[in-house]
Amino acid sequence: MACIQKTLRGLGVLRQLPRESTVNQTYCRYASSYKYLQVDLDKKTKVAHLTLARKPANSLNCDMMKEIAMATNELDQDRDCKGIIINSCVPNIFSAGLDLTELYQAKELFFQDFWRSLQAMFSTIYGTKVVTMAAIEGHAPAAGCIIALATDYRVMSEGKFNIGLNESMLGIPMNFWVKDAFIATCGQREGERALQLGQMFIPSTALQIGLVDEVVPQELTLPTVQKHMKQWVKVPGGARGLTKSLIRQQAMDNLKAKADEDLLIMTRHMLSQPIQNTIGAYLENMTKKSKR
Ligand SMILES: CCCC/C=C\CC(=O)SCCNC(=O)CCNC(=O)[C@H](O)C(C)(C)COP(=O)(O)OP(=O)(O)OC[C@H]1O[C@@H](n2cnc3c(N)ncnc32)[C@H](O)[C@@H]1OP(=O)(O)O
């Protein structure tokens, strides 16, 4: 965790937050600290719910990614927290991925802050020693899928929803740490196919390729995650946490070592005219669609 804090501090993401605003002895809510999240920790079960709450689609703007990193870090340090469930309060959408309106015609300095915040959000969730699970009750494209990939266990709702890394289709080339996380989860062959094609998956296919661990009716999604969480947090935390670190440390070290390089490469790509044109056209399409 020292590593996560160092990374966050280096990225200017970590700031002093009030320890907690206590509602009562067994249930505490950090929500007052956050604009785009609800964070509730049940001190009795030692499980926190980190609920993405940026309507209309939980698109991830720079501040929201900073908040997710800070909240995860804060929970990681809280002795009363053994598990974090990430879910969404937006019906049928887990997260629509990066906020394209912030990426469109972004200034270089802002983009750097934005990308550092994405790196920090991922590495904080991926690197935390506490158990993390995603209750994916709707669409999870691109960075929505990245949040889910960073967790230890994913349950998705049945329905006409999509999950996956569609970056190629947006003209955005894949970067190393997202590629590594996908391949670690779904394997080399699936990675070669899905990442080149920018493929999105319906829940049953996502289950087949191992992108999610379970698919259940929507109303059972959160209860199913809660049931699994109850089991996972029973495992002695020290042993489980160290085992998790052992498995994830290499990826964390790689990201830390190559974060600047990633930023440099992605700044060049994302601010290039062809990608900016694609994002512009995509935004125009979304506006037309919602006017219909
Ligand atoms: C190189 C690797 C690292 C890079 C990592 C990540 C890259 C990204 O994340 S890029 C972003 C990719 N995201 C997408 O392609 C998803 C785009 N959105 C959708 O496909 C749909 O909105 C979605 C399926 C999520 C939901 O569909 P609907 O339920 O039909 O809702 P609407 O499409 O009407 O959307 C509602 C509302 O939200 C706005 N919106 C949606 N997505 C985004 C977004 N990514 N950024 C900004 N705004 C977004 C959309 O415009 C609508 O707004 P209003 O018109 O104001 O209602």
CA–centroid distance, 99 to ligand 1, in Å, is: 7
147 ligand 1 Cβ < 6 A: no
CA–centroid distance, 97 to ligand 1, in Å, is: 6
Question: Pocket of ligand 1, candidates 59, 163, 169: which has the most ligand atoms within 8 Å of its Cβ, to mutate?
Answer: 59
Q: What is the pTM of this model?
A: 0.93
State pLDDT tens for residues 119-150. 999 999 999 999 999 999 999 999 999 999 99
pLDDT value at residue 14: 44
CA–centroid distance, 259 to ligand 1, in Å, is: 26
State pLDDT tens for residues 172-187. 999 999 999 999 999 9
What residues in the chain have per-residue pLDDT under 70?
A: 1-32
pLDDT value at residue 32: 58
pLDDT value at residue 28: 62
Q: Which residues pair with 54 in a beta bridge?
A: none
203 ligand 1 Cβ < 6 A: no
CA–centroid distance, 164 to ligand 1, in Å, is: 13
pLDDT value at residue 13: 46
